[in-house]
Structure formats: C-alpha cells, structure tokens
C-alpha cells in the first residue's frame, strides 16, 4: 500500500543553512523495497500478536474448563453431604420412633455385649423406671430410664438427657459397664441389694 504511493519518490527536506548562507537541501529517496520490508516487519509483528492472542484465548479456555470442573466437583460434594445429613436425620427419626427397649438392644453390641444381656437389662430398668424417659424418684432425685442420681449426670452424654431415651440409655450402659461390667451383673446386684 505505502510502497505503491511512495514508490521511488524523492522527499526533499529543508536543511540548515550552509557556510555560504544559502539554503541547502537534502534529498531522501525512499525505495519501494524498503517500504515493502517495513510492511513485512509489520506483518511479522501482527502475526506474533495474533499468536499471543491465540495463546491467551487458549489459556482462558483452559481456565474456564478447570473452573467448570471445580464447580462440578463442589456440587457433587455438596450433594454427598446433603445425602449424608438426610441419612443421619432418618436414623435419628428411626431412633425416636423406636421404643427405648429397641434402642437399648441396638446399643448392646457397642459395649461388647451380646444380645443375651438384654434379658437382664430389661427387668433391671423395668423395675427402676418402667423404661420411662421422665421417671423421677421424689425421694432420691434419681431420673430417667437408668435412674441416674442426680439426673444431670447424663449431660455428659448429651444436652437432651431429660427427654432423649438414646442419651439416657447410652449413659446408663456406660455406668453399668464401668460399675458392674455387664447388665447381668448389674441385675444380679439389683436382685440381692434392691439397687444398682
């Protein structure tokens, strides 16, 4: 483009005055090959710029892809957590719907006892509290299914000790294990001494 317009044109520029005082002129010839070479340099620069833009676009695409993958992973994790919470809530609801005896049977194995120990635990707590979560002894202040004395001791297992059969039973089984070793040993003591 520029080469055609300036092709072999002579550009005259004023120069400073010579020693004789007359104006001197310098001639600048612009060769069309030099202009074409300049255009070639311009094209090389444009090509490099385009390549740089291509790399930037590829980098942005890779970043977007990584971001999308991270978002999918976060969504999957959130879904897993929601499912785990739902399962935990369902378990709590099942325990709430279960009788205290069923809850106690389910916990025996956690203390290393066989299900046969329930044959001793059932009459023990049946005699103590009739398996009532709110059973209280006006004379001693014992409270709940295991008749903890005072009832507030059961707070060590859970803050819902006044109303939760599971919390009271866990505390009671801990107490039996630490004091007697097994429900049958506790029942034996109850039968001989009238308390455990």
State the residue for tokens 């205290």. Answer: 100
Angstrom distance (rounded) from CA 164 to CA 188: 27
State whether 159 and 109 are in the same domain.
yes
Instruction: Give per-residue pLDDT as tens, 12-28.
Output: 444 444 444 444 444 44
Q: What is the pTM of this model?
A: 0.54
Determine the 3-state secondary structure of 118 from DSSP: helix
Q: Which helix (H) or strand (E) holds 28?
A: strand 25-29
User: Residue 179 pLDDT > 70, yes or no?
Assistant: yes
Residue 187 belongs to some domain of the structure: yes
Pick from 51, 71, 96: which residue ends a domain?
96
Pick from 47, 77, 96: which residue ends a domain?
96
pLDDT of residue 122: 98
Which phi and psi (to 5°) does residue 14 adopt? Answer: -70, 145
Instruction: Give per-residue pLDDT as tens, 26-65.
Output: 444 545 455 445 555 555 555 565 566 767 777 787 888 8
Instruction: Give per-residue pLDDT as tens, 63-118.
Output: 888 888 888 988 889 888 888 877 766 666 665 678 999 999 999 999 999 999 99
Helix/strand number for the chain, H first, E second = 6, 2
Pick from 63, 96, 129: which residue ends a domain?
96
State whether 72 and 111 are in the same domain.
no
Residue 20 belongs to some domain of the structure: no
The whole-number average pLDDT for the span 131-136 is: 97
Instruction: State which residues form the domain around 11.
Output: 2-15+25-96
State whether 107 and 151 are in the same domain.
yes
How many structural domains compose the chain?
2
């Amino acid at each position: 483009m520029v080469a055609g317009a300036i092709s072999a044109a002579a550009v005259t520029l004023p120069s400073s005055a010579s020693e004789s005082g007359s104006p001197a002129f310098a001639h600048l010839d612009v060769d069309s090959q030099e202009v074409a070479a300049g255009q070639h340099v311009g094209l090389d620069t444009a090509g490099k710029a385009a390549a740089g833009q291509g790399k930037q676009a590829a980098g942005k695409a890779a970043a977007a892809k990584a971001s999308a993958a991270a978002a999918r992973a976060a969504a999957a994790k959130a879904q897993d957590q929601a499912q785990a919470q739902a399962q935990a809530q369902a378990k709590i609801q099942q325990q709430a719907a279960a009788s205290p005896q069923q809850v106690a049977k389910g916990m025996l194995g956690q203390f290393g006892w066989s299900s046969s120990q329930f044959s001793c635990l059932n009459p023990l707590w049946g005699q103590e509290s009739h398996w009532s979560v709110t059973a209280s002894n006006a004379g001693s202040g014992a409270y709940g299914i295991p008749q903890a004395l005072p009832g507030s001791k059961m707070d060590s297992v859970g803050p819902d000790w006044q109303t939760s059969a599971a919390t009271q039973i866990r505390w009671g089984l801990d107490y039996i294990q630490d004091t007697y070793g097994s429900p049958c040993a506790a029942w034996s003591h109850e039968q001989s001494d009238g308390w455990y």
